[in-house]
Structure 1
């Protein structure tokens, strides 16, 4: 079965994405904490947060950096990382020094390749097959210690799924998914074939798969597009930054990874596991074992000002387990809140403007940065999204919606979603996207907020 898959060409994307070859003229310029990106609103730093896990003081330190060096806000990405915007051109050395002191830069050469998403509720709600935190700690250490891994691009993604299927749905390049029997399933790209391995060997197997990818892509581990001091981001020979970019697709890579796993003495059993649908954490109080709960909230359009962020860090410090977990759906989980305090704490987060339930007008709504931060954007999509927001969201079965200022659609969700893209005429095109392509012709809507609100609400309740 796997051999047959290897002979099949990968499906072509049905519309362009920011990491498609047509947008790629030079080496990987993905920003990091040491390599800042110049945007229209100042420099941008992207801080990798493996598994989205921040101690409360690291999170509070990022707030201080955003206020002292940037525009005062923190922006979450679709990989559970944090972006600081509006930074001064000369702040790089101070930023790096202070983040290093906060423990956020364990390796300068690897800081942009520490792209790991993990099930945000793992170990907190009694669901899932195992707590993936030990996998997270082990994989991050292996990546930072690997000379070869420094050659990965800043876009290559690992996913650690505790068995519930949430981050398995995100299309990572290498996914580990826990099983009830203690083993793990290793998935490459979006393939349904998986390699079953011992759970304790899973992090080592994930790193091996990444190294095999680099070899398949022709990478040497040298950062030919960036400069020696910037760490990772190799411009590999084939131009492949991710598994989907490989000329032969993911299946030949899977075959070679299986061969190499067996060559180093690991027992491998082949199977087939369909890729699940995306399933972000439920918002609100998440009941856990013992006498503590977790609070799961969203950030409106994925950003938080100092007041909202400090509300989260103060809660984590004073009434939680001392950490925040950032989710790939631009939300935050605060673990370890005493059960008798959880409802009042959730009310306080809602009063601060955070999204605490699925009827919030911001539930399931995302947007790129838009104008004035991005020169490519045709509109201030965040202002337009706010103007078109309904009093409450559609029922909980509503599709997610993403507002984009141009065809790049930066940060859009996976699976089925409503695509709202600014046009050159001052209006927007609204359509439903499934499996990387539109399900019909886009509806062209003028920039009138009421008309946009009606079109988006109708699309969100449409299922294909």
Structure 2
């Protein structure tokens, strides 16, 4: 069996030019521009997943797409295909730091404060073109948030760029992440936002090289103070902090009414996993109904603007019929699960199969919280806390409540034991357990 010490924390994310070895072959991550693919591009990538990999496709928490099961022999062919789509970076170092997340409905949502796609594009360009920025850790990330129905305020990022209404104008709030949450440094204009975010990145590199840290939130108080000082004269006064997002509006699934006669659809993949045929069928029906762009999101959900309510519902019906999630109350949406065995070498547990079995229990016991099923203590599927965590060790699961996969559970059970006595999962008193 695989024990708790049998895994290696990589400390970096895969790319197209620097793939990562896993239990089912190489993982090749494709980073779209502005989180956007055309249906035609996705159709090509779906076919490539079968031709060059094992047909498994992952949607990531950083709004990227991964092709799994690629071999050393098939990798050059996949690179050629990605290059023909214009999605291959010139070098691995520049690709590794191009970690910019934007709102999935940017430029579509009438409720957004500002269409932040130009800021996101400029920021991505600067990250790739300035070699001094390639010293940023590959997990260092930027969020550029224009607000609206799908705000990114609930997500973590090292540097945060948020549009705010300032009378008839727009101000851009700039902040960074600390252990206590986002600290707002000041504001700037939309035209200056990308360069301001870059300056924070450069200041981080200087401090982190001395402190040997990989994320903004891990810097010492002295290190954070140094970055504040570097940005003090660069930014204007921020008179109020950006509003916090209503978490109920995030991860919107199904038909989304945007107002002004506009509609969008949100379609999730169970545990972020799509198969070649599922993706190909989905983009085919989207193309039939006039969808021109498909947006990726950090919730492992695909979004698309649709011409009408009827066309949106037709797309959703087709997606649901093919095993994708279109119901906003589907219990699978409560669960994050890593790939597990056999795709990962760090565990012998069928985490996603167990996640599906667990999802069937949630409505029965009225559990509405978040669940994380992790094959080991790395917690790859979810770095933050969840109300319920099943963390694998030596072929069994430990139970953590209100914590992370890195916490130490007091007791371990096989999934069969948990399913036979769900009180061990849901902490149900003996007298009130269901039969």
Corresponding position of 1:447: 415
2:164 equivalent to 1:179:
yes
- Equivalences, count: 413
Which consecutive residues of structure 2, in runs of 5 or more, have no partner in the other structure? 429-435
Q: What is the CA distance between 1:144 and its match in structure 2? A: 2.0
Structure 1 range deviating more: 99-108 or 80-89 = 99-108
* 2:46 is equivalent to residue 63 of structure 1: yes
Task: Identify the residue that residue 355 of structure 2 maps to in structure 1.
Answer: 385
Tell me the alpha carbon deviations over residues 309-337 of structure 1, each in whole angstroms, 9 at most, x when there is no partner: 11332233232441111111111112234
Secondary structure at 1:159's aligned position in 2?
strand
| CA drift at 1:122 | 3.2
Q: Deviations over 1:248-280 (max 9, x none)?
A: 476325413423xx35xx534475558657553
* Structure 1 stretches of at least 4 aligned residues deviating more than 6 Å after TM superposition: 394-397, 435-438
Q: Quote the Cα distance in structure 1 between the aligned partners of 2:229 and 2:367.
A: 40
Whole-angstrom CA distance in 1 between matches of 2:152 and 2:257: 20
Pair 1:105-2:88 in alignment = yes
2:397 to 397, 418, 428: 428
Q: Which residue of 1 aligns with 2:433?
A: none
For residues 257-310 of structure 1, what are the alpha-carbon distances to aligned partners after superposition, in whole Å with 9 as ceiling and x for unaligned?
423xx35xx534475558657553311111124444110011011101122211
The counterpart of 2:207, out of the listed 216, 220, 224, is 216
Deviations 1:73-128 (A, max 9, x none): 21111111111111112233222222111111243241121111122233434323
- Deviation string for 1:389-428 (max 9, x for gaps)? 317758999222121000111121535442111132x332
Aligned counterparts of 2:189 and 2:292: Cα–Cα separation in 1? 32
Once residues 402 and 274 of structure 2 are traced to their aligned partners in structure 1, the CA distance between those partners, rounded to angstroms, is 28
Asked if 1:258 is matched to 2:231, the reply is: yes
Deviation at 1:67, TM superposition (A): 0.6
* Whole-Å separation in 2 of the counterparts to 1:66 and 1:132: 31
Q: Contact 2:34/2:121 (CA < 8 Å) preserved in 1?
A: no
The CA distance in 2 between the partners of 1:395 and 1:450, in whole Å, is 12
**Do the aligned partners of residues 274 and 334 (structure 1) sit closer, same or farther apart at CA in structure 2, a change above 3 Å counting?**
closer
Contact preservation (8 Å) 2:135, 2:205: yes
In structure 1, C-alpha distance between the alignment counterparts of 2:366 and 2:120, rounded to whole Å: 31
Residue 136 (structure 2) aligns with: 152
Name the CA distance, whole Å, in 1 between partners of 2:275 and 2:186: 43
Change (3 A) 1:32 1:119: same
The structure-2 alpha-carbon separation of the partners of 1:434 and 1:251, relative to structure 1 and needing over 3 Å to count, comes to farther
The answer to whether the aligner puts 1:117 opposite 2:86 as a matched pair is: no
Q: Note the aligned Cα RMSD (angstroms).
A: 3.1
Structure 1 199/415 Cα, relative in aligned 2: closer, same or farther at 3 Å? farther
Partner-residue secondary structure (3-state), 1:202? helix
Checking the alignment, whether the CA contact within 8 Å between 1:317 and 1:323 is kept in structure 2 is no
Aligned to 1:166: 151
Structure 2 CA distance for aligned equivalents of residues 249 and 369 of structure 1: 39
Contact conserved, 1:429 with 1:445, CA < 8 A, in 2?
Answer: yes
Alpha carbons of structure 1 residues 370 and 299: separation in structure 2 relative to 1, 3 Å: same
Task: State how far apart, in whole Å, the 1-side matches of 2:154 and 2:366 are.
Answer: 19
Contact kept in structure 2, 1:389 and 1:453, CA below 8 Å: no
Q: Which residue of 2 aligns with 1:319?
A: 289
Alpha-carbon distance in 2 for matches of 1:373, 1:416: 23
Q: Distance in 1 between matches of 2:335 and 2:222?
A: 32
Residue 231 of structure 1 corresponds to which residue in structure 2?
none
Deviation at 1:71, TM superposition (A): 0.9
Contact 2:255 2:266 in 1 (8 A): yes
**Hey, what does 1:340 align to over in structure 2?**
310
Tell me what 1:31 maps to: 14
1:433 alignment partner, SS class: strand
Q: Any conservation in 2 of the 1:117–1:158 contact (CA below 8 Å)?
A: yes
Deviating more after overlay: 355-364 vs 119-128: 119-128
The 3-state SS of whatever aligns with 2:87 is coil
C-alpha separation in 1, matches of 2:282 and 2:362: 23
- 1:322 is paired with a residue of what secondary structure? coil
- Residue 99 (structure 2) pairs with residue 131 (structure 1): no
Partner residue of 2:388 out of 387, 396, 418: 418
Contact 2:306 2:312 survives alignment (8 Å)? no
Match runs of 1:4-43 below 5 Å: 23=9, 29-43=12-26
- Report the Cα offset of residue 178 of structure 1: 1.1
Partner-residue secondary structure (3-state), 2:212: coil
Cα distance in 2 between the residues matched to 1:393 and 1:197? 47
CA distance in 1, matches of 2:397, 2:140: 31
